[in-house]
């Protein structure tokens, strides 16, 4: 008697974001990005779908303002600002068997500025005590309230 083939058993998909926050300005020409890493036990990562099905404040960014590129285990997500403010975007991975997992991405857009290509909206620290230019367009900012250095 031969053995019967068993249906494939997949684990629950997982999703991880390289950053929990993205920020932008309305006239910025380079939309910020975050890496989205996905996997599902027993499945080829290239078969997993990454989408952004919801925004908590569509006046800031709709799901149509989000672009997801890449294949395999790592995708890149970019957000174009629609209006000023804050929104939470739901980032979703759908596994080969229909199981899903989600993460929230906090997104902020500031008002338009004169030099769109150079504009950035910095988040995470509101009262910097020190800042050092480290080259390449980066700065390290520190504050003595949280004792955290941010790049």
Q: Is 89 left (phi over 0), alpha (psi -120 to 50) or beta?
A: beta
Please tell me what DSSP assigns to residue 72. T
Beta strands across the sheet bearing 138-143:
130-135, 138-143, 148-150
DSSP strand pairing (14-17 vs 74-79): unpaired
Q: What's the pLDDT tens digit per position in 103-145?
A: 999 999 888 766 555 555 555 566 677 888 888 878 888 877 6
State the pLDDT at residue 31. Answer: 78
What pLDDT sits at residue 100?
96
Distance, in Å, from the CA atom of 147 to the CA atom of 126, rounded to the nearest integer, reads 13
- What pTM, to 2 d.p., does this model score? 0.75
Cβ neighbours of 53 (radius 10 Å): 13
Domain ranges of the chain: 14-111
What CATH class does 14-111 carry?
Answer: mainly beta
Burial (Cβ within 10 Å: 0-12, 13-18, ≥19) of residue 13 = buried
Question: For the segment 72-109, what is each residue's pLDDT rounded down to a tens digit?
Answer: 999 999 999 999 999 999 999 999 999 999 999 999 98
């Amino acid at each position: 008697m031969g053995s019967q083939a068993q249906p494939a058993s997949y684990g629950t998909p997982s999703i991880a974001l390289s950053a929990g926050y993205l920020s932008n300005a309305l006239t910025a020409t380079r939309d910020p990005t975050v890496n989205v890493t996905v996997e599902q036990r027993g499945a080829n990562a290239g078969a997993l779908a990454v989408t952004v099905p919801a925004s908590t404040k569509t006046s800031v960014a709709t799901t149509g303002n989000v672009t997801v590129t890449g294949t395999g285990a790592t995708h890149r997500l970019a957000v174009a600002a629609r209006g000023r403010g804050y929104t939470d975007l739901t980032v979703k991975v759908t596994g080969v068997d229909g199981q899903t997992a989600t993460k929230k991405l906090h997104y902020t857009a500031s008002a338009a500025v004169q030099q769109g290509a150079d504009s950035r909206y910095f988040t995470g620290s509101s009262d910097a005590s020190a800042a050092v230019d480290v080259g390449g367009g980066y700065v390290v900012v520190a504050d003595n309230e949280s004792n955290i250095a941010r790049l």
